[in-house]
Amino acid sequence: MSQLDDLLRDLVVANRILSNEDVVDAYGHISVRHPDNPKHFFMSRSLAPELVQRNDLIEFDQAGEPVKDQRQPYLERFIHAAIFEARPDVTAVVHAHAEDTLPFGLIKTPLQPVIHSGSFIGGKVPVWDIRKKFGDTNLLVTNMAQGRDLAKSLGKGSVALMRGHGATVVGRSVRHSVFVSVYLEVGAKLQMQAMPMGEIKFLTPGEVDKIASRVSAYTLNRAWENWARRAGREMQPEA
Amino acid sequence: MSQLDDLLRDLVVANRILSNEDVVDAYGHISVRHPDNPKHFFMSRSLAPELVQRNDLIEFDQAGEPVKDQRQPYLERFIHAAIFEARPDVTAVVHAHAEDTLPFGLIKTPLQPVIHSGSFIGGKVPVWDIRKKFGDTNLLVTNMAQGRDLAKSLGKGSVALMRGHGATVVGRSVRHSVFVSVYLEVGAKLQMQAMPMGEIKFLTPGEVDKIASRVSAYTLNRAWENWARRAGREMQPEA
Amino acid sequence: MSQLDDLLRDLVVANRILSNEDVVDAYGHISVRHPDNPKHFFMSRSLAPELVQRNDLIEFDQAGEPVKDQRQPYLERFIHAAIFEARPDVTAVVHAHAEDTLPFGLIKTPLQPVIHSGSFIGGKVPVWDIRKKFGDTNLLVTNMAQGRDLAKSLGKGSVALMRGHGATVVGRSVRHSVFVSVYLEVGAKLQMQAMPMGEIKFLTPGEVDKIASRVSAYTLNRAWENWARRAGREMQPEA
Amino acid sequence: MSQLDDLLRDLVVANRILSNEDVVDAYGHISVRHPDNPKHFFMSRSLAPELVQRNDLIEFDQAGEPVKDQRQPYLERFIHAAIFEARPDVTAVVHAHAEDTLPFGLIKTPLQPVIHSGSFIGGKVPVWDIRKKFGDTNLLVTNMAQGRDLAKSLGKGSVALMRGHGATVVGRSVRHSVFVSVYLEVGAKLQMQAMPMGEIKFLTPGEVDKIASRVSAYTLNRAWENWARRAGREMQPEA
């Protein structure tokens, strides 16, 4: 099979994993950059991630619009378009409303890495507040201007929380972005549990750097294999 | 099939969804206004929601009494009768004891919208205390006077918490009331998690208005489809 | 079938329900008084509750010893023997280590009824500390003297917490004791969630009395039916 | 079957149990000392514990290196090698990242026994911080020097928490180490829940001693039987 086939198969499995691991519910989405046309990307038509199959995937252009496809796209596809535009190093984008990260989008204390597996979020995670620039909205990212403002808040990082809404995670591959998304949740839960019990020893920048700079395909695949199986999908070689 | 058939099929599915999504346990109920006789409504006979089937549904009159049916009704059917009486704009009513909302019925800090999907609860959610007007009771709404007092506390809103008891949610359709009920839980959990960690940035009234006034059948159906499937029911076109 | 057969069938189902609803794990037990010989009672041989079948049930005498049965009994059978001795009004006894009640056995703030369904615990729940009378032990109730001391702490109530160990619940029937045990958990969790958020409005003694004095077989059976089905058991008429 | 066969069968079942009881996720591992060659030990090749089967087990030497096996070993096998070296009394070692223990690796308040079943952790559980001796690392134990430093922090105890990483548990048998690992979680969760509600009455050293010194194969087997069945494995006589 071609690289594209492998990539899209991974994208389908990623939808199932994100749903099964409770990163997304009926909403939330994951996209992957087109390997042959880096200004375009693939993402499901508007559908609960748990239901996504290969033929639900749509190609989108750099403006976040479907390429020759009349089916209903996700309203918030501009999150993906704007991040692929701003970050050439990014291959996959996850937008989710996972419950344990959401409290950190409501308060002043930032989310920070507390464990090895949660260190891929980098340092203190920024919280993007759509209201600063756009006033009262429905909180959703419904055009490129909003998407670009979010991308600016994300900066060179791998995660941006969105006040009253959710989180956006980027990765160097579909599997990497899923890995960061799942352990973002684990780390958020731990920080939340530890905070009422005393002062927290966060990971040092040196530790974060040593872990994040060395994550191997081997490590990512071990988790992917396990999650894919739990979600009822056979393991396949990585795209 | 007629509109009534579709509506009652939705009501059965709603019972399964509310149970499967842990909004109700063995208790709790959901009703829908009779489309052809707006003073009447339909609700299951007294039964755990997870078990409700089409032939368990009973028609009730405006006094909350079963119409030509000898089977045992829910004790608290007056919640539904009184709200349908006071609120012509309401099509469906959910009464539940979902765990994450209950703490907010015990304390002074009000439940408020903290996330996009939880904004349908409006603003600060009122807590109805049966004791104020009726003194020591068994806390249940067992007659029309109590139901009307609850409806007064609900006012024009979509949710009223009930001290030491549960919550009542109203919606413009079965699917809408289920949607509000599920995300009421999500928002309550988030507010509960965020409160010990610092001051919370709640949604502004302007944001709440922009979201709640625009919720589309499309949005509701996406969640419904996913929940129905999880609860083992095939998706059907909306009633 | 005879009353005894019905009763023992209920006892088997109760074991499954307590396990499936996470009131017990591999440990914990439930007993029922012998209907024809009120000094004796029935309980499983030592076995994880989820595995208990009809032929695992053993008859015990008033000293907590098996009647003509060589199989290994639960170490803590004296909890049951001592309570049946002290409380002629009690028909069933549950001993469990359910997780949400345990924190209240470690601190000074008492567990109290906060919701309708949790009101069967009465008022402030006593915490029995085996250490007061017996010094350093392995915390288990391994003889009649310890069981009687626990029964004294229970008094006329329906629940006693046991410091660093678990809880013991009594009921007027198997189904009643299971009902109180499950909702003891729900109430404990709610109180635990509400405490960090502000002062709690507990149920008044008048409310508790109105609810607890009127619980009907109908109410108990609705929950039982649901729990039995979830635990994979068909519903049967009550013993 | 030989003792070795029984032991390795238990090791496979232990992997399933640890996964099913949420002590491990895709990472984490359990080892057992070679009964005939006490300097060696057995552990799975690098694989999510839920997937481990008999032929995935590898024999390791005292340096933590696979004996005549080319398959990829766990990166952190030195945890096991160093502990088997330092502690001749230890037969099995579990390394996990179970979520409820992790907060206690981040704060100053120590984890301590609060319940009977959690007393096997001994007293205040030490927190090993790899940074003290090795500076900024990726937090993982990737050589014998780090493993020996961890073993020193463990001392004569049965549990050491690892800051920002996880926990290591030792036992006198596979079943014992699994038992301690599961109830380590339960106790951690309870202490975490009780801490915001007031001062905790921990178990006294005398109580801990009375419980831990008397744990019987019978007790361990009752839990093992239940967990094995839940994880889909038939109960077998202990190795």
- C41-60 per-position pLDDT tens digit: 999 999 989 999 999 999 99
A101 vs B182, C131, D126, D147, CA distance in Å?
Answer: 19, 43, 29, 33
What average pLDDT does chain C have?
93
Q: Residue C167: is it exposed, middle or buried by C-beta count within 10 angstroms (0-12/13-18/19+)?
A: buried
* pLDDT tens, per residue, chain B with 239 residues: 578 999 999 999 999 999 999 999 888 999 999 999 999 999 999 999 999 999 999 999 999 999 999 999 999 999 999 999 999 999 999 999 888 999 999 999 999 999 998 999 999 999 999 999 999 999 999 999 999 999 999 999 999 999 999 999 999 999 999 999 999 999 999 999 999 899 999 999 999 999 987 778 888 898 898 899 889 865 444 44
Residue type at A150 in one-letter notation: L
**Cross-chain Cβ contact B189/A46 below 8 Å:** no
- Please report the pLDDT score of residue D234 as a whole number: 55
Percent of chain A at pLDDT exceeding 90 = 83
Q: At residue D235, does pLDDT exceed 60?
A: no
Q: Six-digit token pair at B174?
A: 């079965």
- Please report the pLDDT score of residue C233 as a whole number: 66
- A10-62 per-position pLDDT tens digit: 999 999 999 999 999 888 999 999 999 999 999 999 998 999 999 999 999 99
- Please report the pLDDT score of residue B234 as a whole number: 55
Report how far residue A121's alpha carbon sits from residue A179's, in angstroms, rounded to the nearest whole number.
11
* pLDDT tens, per residue, chain A with 239 residues: 578 999 999 999 999 999 999 999 888 999 999 999 999 999 999 998 999 999 999 999 999 999 999 999 999 999 999 999 999 999 999 999 888 999 999 999 999 999 998 999 999 999 999 999 999 999 999 999 999 999 999 999 999 999 999 999 999 999 999 999 999 999 999 999 999 899 999 999 999 999 987 778 888 898 898 899 889 865 444 44
Q: Among B199, B200, B201, pick the best mutation site for testing chain A contact (most A Cβ within 10 A).
A: B201
Closest residue to B26, CB basis, from C202, C207, C223: C223
Q: Which residues of D touch C140 (CB under 8 A)?
A: 116
Nearest Cα neighbor of B81 from B128, B129, B142, B133 is B142
How far does Cα C149 stand from its chain's mean position? Answer: 17
Q: Supply the DSSP symbol for B214.
A: T
Percent of chain D at pLDDT exceeding 70 = 97
Q: Residue D136: is it exposed, middle or buried by C-beta count within 10 angstroms (0-12/13-18/19+)?
A: middle
Pairing relationship of beta strands A166-171 and D57-60 according to DSSP bridges: unpaired
- C57-81 per-position pLDDT tens digit: 999 999 999 999 999 999 999 999 9
What ipTM does the predicted assembly reach? 0.89
Q: Among A29, A134, A138, A190, pick the best mutation site for testing chain B contact (most B Cβ within 10 A).
A: A138
Q: At residue C97, does pLDDT exceed 50?
A: yes
- Please report the pLDDT score of residue B235 as a whole number: 47
Q: C118: nearest CA in chain B?
A: B164
**Number of residues written out for chain A:** 239
Q: D166: nearest CA in chain A?
A: A115
- Sheet of A29-33, strands arranged across: A57-60, A41-44, A29-33, A92-96, A166-171, A159-162, A127-128
How many CB atoms are closer than 10 A to CB A218? 10
Q: Which residues of B touch C225 (CB under 8 A)?
A: 26, 48, 51
Report how far residue C142's alpha carbon sits from residue C129's, in angstroms, rounded to the nearest whole number.
14
Q: At residue C237, does pLDDT exceed 90?
A: no
Q: Six-digit token pair at A148?
A: 């670009």
Nearest Cα neighbor of B174 from B26, B29, B67, B25 is B29
C238 catalytic residue (yes or no): no
- Please report the pLDDT score of residue D237 as a whole number: 47
Shortest CA gap A133–chain B (Å): 14
A163 vs A104, B200, B223, D232, CA distance in Å?
Answer: 8, 10, 22, 43
Report how far residue D6's alpha carbon sits from residue C232's, in angstroms, rounded to the nearest whole number.
33
Q: For chain B, which residues lie within 8 Å of any Cβ of chain C, measuring from their own Cβ?
A: 25-27, 46-48, 50-51, 72, 97, 99-100, 102-103, 106-109, 129, 131, 135-140, 163-166, 192, 195-196
Q: Among D138, D190, D192, D197, pick the best mutation site for testing chain A contact (most A Cβ within 10 A).
A: D138
**Cross-chain Cβ contact A204/D99 below 8 Å:** no
Q: Which residues of D touch A209 (CB under 8 A)?
A: 136
Report how far residue B194's alpha carbon sits from residue B192's, in angstroms, rounded to the nearest whole number.
6
Residues 6 or more apart whose Cβ sits within 8 Å of residue A66:
A58, A59, A60, A73
Report how far residue D226's alpha carbon sits from residue D209's, in angstroms, rounded to the nearest whole number.
26
Helix, strand, or coil (residue D94) = strand
Beta-carbon pairs below 8 A across chains A and D? 91
Nearest Cα neighbor of A7 from A51, A38, A46, A50 is A38
Closest residue to C211, CB basis, from B47, B51, B138: B138
- Please report the pLDDT score of residue B232 as a whole number: 83
- Please report the pLDDT score of residue B214 as a whole number: 75
Average pLDDT of span D168-185: 96
Helix then strand then coil, in percent of chain C rounded to 5, is 45, 15, 45
Q: Which residues of C touch B26 (CB under 8 A)?
A: 222-223, 225-227
**Cross-chain Cβ contact A115/D164 below 8 Å:** yes
Report how far residue B94's alpha carbon sits from residue D154's, in angstroms, rounded to the nearest whole number.
54
Q: Which residues of A touch D24 (CB under 8 A)?
A: none
Extended beta strands in chain D, E state: 29-33, 41-44, 57-60, 92-96, 127-128, 159-162, 166-171
A60 within 8 A of A81, measured Cβ to Cβ: yes
Helix then strand then coil, in percent of chain A rounded to 5, is 45, 15, 45
Report how far residue A25's alpha carbon sits from residue B115's, in angstroms, rounded to the nearest whole number.
14
Average pLDDT of span D83-102: 95
Helices in D21-143 by DSSP H: which ranges?
77-86, 130-134
- Please report the pLDDT score of residue A237 as a whole number: 47
Residues 6 or more apart whose Cβ sits within 8 Å of residue B193:
A100, A103, A192
